[in-house]
Amino acid sequence: MITPPSGIVTFLFTDIEGSTKLAQEFPDTLPVALEKHHAILRKKIESNNGFVFEIIGDAFCSSFADVCDAVKAAHDIQISLASEKWDDAVIKIRIGIHSGKAEWNNSTYMGYITLARTQRVMSAAFGEQVIISNDTNELVKEKILLTNKEIRSSGGEIISFRDLGERRLKDLIQPVKLYQMTAHGLREEFPPLKTLDARPNNLPLQLTSFIGREDEMKKIKDGLKQTRLLTLTGPGGTGKTRLAIQIAADIIDDFANGVWIVELASLLEPDLLPQSIVKALGIHENPKQKVEETLSDFLKDKELLIILDNCEHLIHSCAGLSERLLQYSAKLKILATSREPLRCSGELTHRTSSLALPDAKADITAEQLSQYESVRLFIERALALKPDFRVTNENAPALAAICSHLDGIPLAIELAAARISVLTIEKIYERLNSRFKLLTGGKRTSLPRQQTLKALIDWSYDLLSENEKILWSRLSVFSGGWTLEASEEICIDEKIFPEEVLDLIINLTDKSIVIYDEKNQRYRMLETIKQYGAEKLEEANEHKKVADSH
């Protein structure tokens, strides 16, 4: 039995090229081919001292204590698959190898960044190709220097690596130098790697890794196949922008003319919207044309994706221009982010969910806790500030409570994790009742509204009508949600009449303040949104009046 390695681990991930097509073309013979594939991979990985810790569909995830063992396993796998006699369904796999910090925790690996990067290295490759990262290559060179021996496969072939240059992987963090394995018997020539460099784009580098949301991303990608305009809605801080950028990176190969993000948060003049898009796409303006005409002419025959980010304060202009551009350009797609839908023809909306969070009241261990996306986000951000940070069975309940009380909102969790350098997890949890004072440690380089939790919600509040603001604050008196009838009884006075309440609640729902539970026919607010409304109710000296009515 191989012991799962920890510390500096070399990971080898595989994936079958064109598995969906194979399933469609060879439904009868593919199961037998997959059995052969699984047997070959398990044998070659384990015979080279590797540990298979997960199989997802037809993709193998394995770990190695020795980098040379991983390299040998990859070579042996590709040689064995290439020499195998297949009936109809010929299986070709891509292999990615990356090395980094990771700890085995009884049933899974802790080290999300290392695992995610291994996945991205593998995703850049083609069938029959083995790609390794610079980190792995450095370990290989160290091993060669220490042993004074070249790396040879089990058959005696010398294994070497061709420098493919520095590439931007689709995880969007810093570029990495990649290498292709070369050896006798391996295919040598392949198309350009499937990296961001292969298509034009202006997607910004990210300083932190993207955590979770696999199922949600699949739904959104499927939605973009059905429509040409998809809007990600949701409260501030739920990660709509980061989600949109990651989706664009993942599907960039579908757009011959690339993907482009247009950041609108700092744009205050609606009339300048076309000019902002022109600038983002690097289009040369024609002084004899209106800017919108120049934009339309440029997009007419282009196959590209535009991200319109933060549309809520320019909602009418974004809706109108999006509709006109989509009518003019048949191959254009738009992915918008906004607190509310654009409400124009052909739009598909997706409410961005909070990260998966634990039940704060459940008895949960540190190992169980690490399965939740919100917890993984807290841990990754905390480790960046405090490398010796660890989740234990003792502090696990407090961490579960933090993620739960912050509703799984990514920005709120990141702001909470930023306090780990000066407060324990337990102390952070104790101070969450004053969360708007506690969660103020955002990056200085962020937009002002992303530097504190209160500023983030202020942005949404300031975009509302006066009666929407009043109703928001009054709805904060409800605990556990409310019915429409209850709000029509309790939240009315000379400012808000009963017949106005339904429309106001619909508006607040569209603007991601209120959530409607269709199953129970009740409305609710996230705890952070509710607490903000409660503070506004106190400021207006209305708390006693509304609470008494309640």
pLDDT at 447 over 50: no
What value does the mean pLDDT take over residues 376-395? 86
pLDDT at 270 over 60: yes
Rounded to whole angstroms, how far apart are CA atoms 448 and 450? 5
**Would you say 129 and 198 are in contact if contact means Cβ atoms under 8 Å apart?**
no
- Looking at per-residue pLDDT, the higher value among 454 and 162 belongs to 162
**Would you say 98 and 132 are in contact if contact means Cβ atoms under 8 Å apart?**
yes
Reported as a pLDDT band with limits 50, 70 and 90, residue 205 is confident
Per-chain mean pLDDT for the chain: 89
Predicted local confidence at residue 107, as pLDDT: 78
Instruction: Identify the burial level of 90 via C-beta atoms within 10 angstroms of its C-beta, where 0-12 means exposed, 13-18 middle and 19 or more buried.
Output: middle
What value does the mean pLDDT take over residues 308-329? 94
pLDDT at 202 over 70: yes
Q: List pLDDT tens digits, range 328-354.
A: 999 999 999 999 999 998 899 999 988
Lowest pLDDT segment from 97-111, 112-126, 238-252: 97-111
DSSP secondary structure string for all residues of 124-145: T--TT-EEEEHHHHHHHHHHHH
Q: Which of 336, 334, 337 is nearest to 326 (CA)?
A: 334
Lowest pLDDT segment from 82-96, 111-125, 457-471: 457-471
User: What is the distance between the terminal CA atoms of the chain, rounded to a whole angstrom?
Assistant: 63
What value does the mean pLDDT take over residues 400-411? 88
**Would you say 180 and 129 are in contact if contact means Cβ atoms under 8 Å apart?**
yes
Predicted local confidence at residue 138, as pLDDT: 95
DSSP H helical ranges for 370-409: 373-385, 396-405
Predicted local confidence at residue 335, as pLDDT: 98
Predicted local confidence at residue 513, as pLDDT: 86
Phi, psi of 142 (to 5 degrees): -60, -45
Reported as a pLDDT band with limits 50, 70 and 90, residue 445 is very low
pLDDT at 234 over 50: yes
Q: Which of 115, 110, 114 is nearest to 375 (CA)?
A: 110
What value does the mean pLDDT take over residues 189-195? 93
Rounded to whole angstroms, how far apart are CA atoms 24 and 19? 9
pLDDT at 371 over 80: yes
Residues 6+ apart with CB under 8 A from 167: 124, 175, 176, 177, 178, 193, 195, 196, 197
What value does the mean pLDDT take over residues 191-211? 89
pLDDT at 249 over 90: yes
pLDDT at 525 over 90: no
User: Quick one: tokens of 471?
Assistant: 């109703």
Lowest pLDDT segment from 314-323, 327-336, 463-472: 463-472
Q: What does R_g of the chain's alpha carbons equal in angstroms?
A: 26
Predicted local confidence at residue 154, as pLDDT: 76
Reported as a pLDDT band with limits 50, 70 and 90, residue 441 is low
pLDDT at 483 over 60: yes
Residues 6+ apart with CB under 8 A from 347: 227, 229, 230, 231, 341
Predicted local confidence at residue 446, as pLDDT: 45
Predicted local confidence at residue 53, as pLDDT: 94
pLDDT at 306 over 90: yes
Predicted local confidence at residue 504, as pLDDT: 92
What value does the mean pLDDT take over residues 502-507? 90
Predicted local confidence at residue 534, as pLDDT: 87
Predicted local confidence at residue 440, as pLDDT: 67
**Would you say 362 and 415 are in contact if contact means Cβ atoms under 8 Å apart?**
no
